[in-house]
Amino acid sequence: MNLKRYRVNNIKEALKFIKRDLGPDAMIVSTRQVKESSGAFGMFGKTMLEVTAAASDKKKDAAQANVPATKALETYSGTTETSETALANTFLTPKNKSVLSVTDETRKMMLPIQKELHGIRLSLGDLSSQSSGFDKHVMGELKHELGEMRHMLHILASRSSTLAEPDLPENLLLLYQQMKFSGLEERFSRRLVLEAQRNMTAEDIDSFAYVKIFIARMLMKIIKITRGLEDLKSSQKIVALLGPTGVGKTTTVAKLASEQILKYKRKVALISVDTNHNSAAGQIRSFAKKIKAAFSVVKDKADLNRVIDSYKDYDSIIIDTDGCSQRNDKQLFEMREIFDKRGRIHNALVLSATSKDNDMNEVTRKFGCMPIDSVIFTKLDESTAYGSLFNHAIRFKKPLSYLTVGQKVPEDIEVASSERLVDLLLNISGT
Ligand SMILES: Nc1nc2c(ncn2[C@@H]2O[C@H](COP(=O)(O)OP(=O)(O)OP(=O)(O)O)[C@@H](O)[C@H]2O)c(=O)[nH]1
Ligand SMILES: [Mg+2]
């Protein structure tokens, strides 16, 4: 990948150089204002724009973003009803969920498939009304298949949409590129900058900082946050961590348990749900022993209820589960039997920030067979494209509870905050 940095007077100048050196497909990775060092302590130095651009479409390589631990955005996170709130709300309305920017060419290609699907649906309807004995299970399976096909078509359509860059003032175009580069879906990035353009004065748009803050505030309103265990209303805090294999569930259980004991001085019990029957609870068992927490392994719902009842003197109960592939319907079914009802347990879906957008979508849809109260994103330290966290939050509207940023127990965990997430995407603190 080819990375180049330029110091220029304005963005137009930078774009000229970037096009010349890196070609028309180059992307702007970051921009910041710098002072040329001249005069005493650089005091009289001219303010220049430093632009870094990359000529590669391999986002993974290019976005070597670090994880800034700052909360610089807090100063901007007012809670009053602002125009950003209204904009964020329009952004979240269901009608926008299905907005697809599909080219005419793609639409033409999709038409016969859509017709075919429509035909199948009609035939299914006929079949079920004609035959009262038609197996409900088969019917359900077929409907499910249809749903999957429709979803795939949706993905295909969004992938094949080839859109021209929006015609925007420089600062908005820059932000648009930056967000896209960080993995925020094109249509979300586009919508954000267009909303900003509609709602900002031309004078404000001339300031890159203003534009960035305006968009940051919109994004902060869009992202839903819950302060994890601390937001649970019940006197006894019970949380279960669900999710695919290897995302960091057990490590996060250990971090949460440590926090409950060390920071909040609470009495903690740990439970491991072993649906795989592979006795993989060893890791968490020895951890429980180390931190002197009560510990049980359970196999099914009755078992779990009995153990929870026996822990009524404990302040917090944290439940670890076996990793469950979203493709393993049998195991998902067993899991659903246990965590089906909305009740005293807060179900947190654990996702790795390093996963691909489509995989995260599939996992969330499949785990959606259980009530999901919040999402925990792990491995932020290993991720380079934070846009997918936003794509997920916008698509599924699930509140985020925790972020984990490393392997170390107990320290590598944070209660999710919208300031932090927006900072990851826009690098506010680095400018
Ligand atoms: N870099 C990084 N690694 C992490 C983080 N959280 C967990 N890990 C690592 O990810 C690996 C898997 O973690 P586990 O906690 O065993 O994952 P799990 O979801 O319980 O896995 P299964 O129970 O097998 O499904 C381990 O090597 C952890 O140290 C994190 O925030 N950052
Ligand atoms: Mg585990």
pLDDT tens by residue, 109-138: 666 666 777 777 677 666 666 655 556 666
In whole angstroms, give the CA distance from residue 351 to residue 75: 29
The Å distance, Cα 301 to ligand 2 centre, comes to: 19
* CB of 59 sitting under 6 A from ligand 1: no
**What mean pLDDT is predicted for residues 89-97?**
51
In whole angstroms, give the CA distance from residue 407 to residue 252: 9
Q: How many CB atoms lie within 10 A of CB 231?
A: 15
Question: Counting atoms of ligand 1 from 1, which one is nearest the CA of 280?
Answer: 23
| pLDDT for the residue numbered 16 | 79
* Percentage above 90 pLDDT, the chain: 48
Q: What is the 3-state composition of the chain as percent helix, strand, coil, each rounded to the nearest 5?
A: 50, 15, 35
pLDDT tens by residue, 295-320: 999 999 999 999 999 999 999 999 99
User: Angle at the Cα of 371 (from 154 to 339), degrees rounded to 5?
Assistant: 130
Label residue 189 exposed, middle or buried (CB < 10 Å: 0-12, 13-18, 19+).
Answer: buried
Task: Please check the confidence at residue 207 and state whether its pLDDT lies above 70.
Answer: yes
The Å distance, Cα 113 to ligand 1 centre, comes to: 41
Distances (CA, A) of 120 to 115, 348, 376, 421: 9, 37, 39, 43
* CB of 406 sitting under 6 A from ligand 1: yes
* CB of 325 sitting under 6 A from ligand 1: no
| pLDDT for the residue numbered 67 | 32
Is 205 within 8 Å of 165 (Cβ atoms)?
no
Question: Counting atoms of ligand 1 from 1, which one is nearest the CA of 405?
Answer: 31
Token pair listed for 11? 């963005």
Distance of CA 62 to the CA centre of its chain: 20
| pLDDT for the residue numbered 62 | 34
Is 83 within 8 Å of 199 (Cβ atoms)?
yes
* CB of 272 sitting under 6 A from ligand 1: no
Token pair listed for 237? 């805090």
The Å distance, Cα 313 to ligand 2 centre, comes to: 26
| Cis geometry, peptide bond prior to residue 371 (ω within 30 degrees of 0) | no
Higher pLDDT, 374 or 145: 374
The ligand minimizing its distance to the Cα of 244 is 1
The Å distance, Cα 364 to ligand 1 centre, comes to: 18
In whole angstroms, give the CA distance from residue 231 to residue 400: 12
Instruction: Work out the pLDDT band at 139, boundaries 50, 70, 90.
Output: low
In whole angstroms, give the CA distance from residue 271 to residue 316: 11
User: Angle at the Cα of 74 (from 71 to 80), degrees rounded to 5?
Assistant: 160
The Å distance, Cα 329 to ligand 1 centre, comes to: 23
In whole angstroms, give the CA distance from residue 173 to residue 163: 14
**What mean pLDDT is predicted for residues 359-368?**
94
In whole angstroms, give the CA distance from residue 344 to residue 234: 8
Ligand 1 mutation pick, 407, 413, 414, max ligand atoms within 8 A of CB: 407
Token pair listed for 397? 């509207």
